[in-house]
Amino acid sequence: MTVLKSYFFPADNIQVLVSKGKYSPCLTNQHVHSYWEIKTFPDGNKTTKSPLFMLMPPNVIHDSTPRLFSEGADFVLAFMQPRITLQINDGKGGFNERFCFFSQVDDLCPGGVISVLRKIKVLQAGNTDRELLEKFLNDLISLLFSAMNIAFENASSIDENAGFSLIERACDYIERQYYYGDLTVEKIAAHLGITAGHLANLFKKESLGTVRQYLIKTRLKHAARLLSTGRYTVKDITELTGWNSQFYFSNCFKKHYKISPSAVPLDSETKIIRTRDQ
């Protein structure tokens, strides 16, 4: 079964997001993550009627996907090592999800997945002839999708196990949704198709604390990473990482890191820390 169909993407509709590290308070649910992400709209979306391919490199501010979705078969790929998550828009306001291991796709892409994504980014920013540019970009996208299809052929759906436990899915979901200020234990549990009590027991069994504590630690981890870049104000980071109160964020940060957000030292090369390492 082909999961990702082949499409031709016009050069102008292959977008690589770039950012100067500026946060715009007029937009909602903006966020920054440390992994590569692809958003694809085969039938176009609110901005275009042609197939649209959007590549979000790490550490680039961008808006949440639902604001861009059309009613077509849109999908999002999140390259969160060691797993890749595929979210397919079901046209009803929800998603169907599938998972595979990063290595399954890396083995099928010359140089690996990240190499392919970087080539797309570099080519799109160059001054290559338009026809050649379209061919090169679409060849790379086709290569990536072909590898993804092979990897996803035997990948699990969200209703199956196939090597991906509920706790892993829960942690991945929190990692991808932490910036929503209204994210609750009940919403996380509902996404997984289990009760809030069952989810709480899973976290307790894995010695991860409560679900709420884990969500707070995830938000703090990303806040610390952004603060160390020196690109954002404390107020910006409060909103970028899902906090509804700057005062509450600052208190949680001081309690967890023993330092105030404004006193975080700058790091010339921001460290990326995986959620499960907390």
pLDDT digits (tens, 9 = 90+) for 59-82: 888 777 655 555 555 888 999 888
Percentage of the chain exceeding pLDDT 90: 41
Residue of 22 and 148 predicted with greater confidence: 148
Stated pTM of the model: 0.77
Note the pLDDT of residue 155: 59
| Average pLDDT for 245-273 | 83
Residue spans of the domains in the chain: they are 11-157, 166-277
Percentage of the chain exceeding pLDDT 70: 83
Model confidence at 276, in pLDDT bands (50, 70, 90)? very low
The tokens for 146 are 């072909």
Beta pairing, strands 52-56 & 14-16: parallel
**DSSP-based three-state secondary structure for 86:** strand
CATH topology (fold) of 166-277:
Arc Repressor Mutant, subunit A (1.10.10)
Q: Exposed, middle or buried: residue 160 (CB in 10 Å: 0-12, 13-18, 19+)?
A: exposed
Alpha-carbon span 240 to 234, nearest angstrom: 10
Q: At what angle do helices 166-177 and 211-227 cross, to 10 degrees?
A: 40
Residues 6 or more apart in contact with residue 109 via CB below 8 angstroms:
115, 116, 143, 144, 147
Note the pLDDT of residue 83: 85
Buried b (16+ CB within 10 A) or exposed e, 236-257: bbbbbbbbeeeeebbebbeeeb
Note the pLDDT of residue 19: 64
**DSSP-based three-state secondary structure for 88:** strand
Note the pLDDT of residue 18: 74
Give the chain's radius of gyration (CA, Å): 19
95 DSSP β-pair partners = 89
Which pLDDT tens digit goes with each residue over 97-121?
888 888 889 989 989 999 999 999 9
